[in-house]
Amino acid sequence: MLSTTEEALLKAFNKAAGQEGAIERVKKLKDYAFVHFRDRELAIKALNVMNG
């Protein structure tokens, strides 16, 4: 099992979205996390970057 922190997820997804402050909040649970973006366009951009 991989381990990470909410802070690491926040940093990674802000970078993928290409904008600091793109993330409203991150909630990490045991095996998964929820990442809430400020707007849909930033979420789509981050998704495309993270998926290559």
Per residue in 31-52, pLDDT tens? Answer: 899 999 999 999 999 999 999 8
User: Is 24 domain-assigned?
Assistant: yes
- Distances 17 to 29, 33, 52 between C-alpha atoms, Å: 22, 17, 13
User: Is 37 domain-assigned?
Assistant: no
How does DSSP classify residue 28? E
User: Is 52 domain-assigned?
Assistant: no
User: Is 25 domain-assigned?
Assistant: yes
User: Is 6 domain-assigned?
Assistant: yes
Tell me how far apart the alpha carbons of residues 31 and 46 are, in angstroms, rounded to a whole number: 21
User: Is 46 domain-assigned?
Assistant: no
CB 33 within 8 A of CB 7: no
Mean pLDDT score of the chain: 94
Query: 12 lies in which domain range?
Result: 1-31
Report which of 34, 49, 45 is spatially closest to residue 25, judged by C-alpha positions: 34
pLDDT at 1 (0 to 100): 57
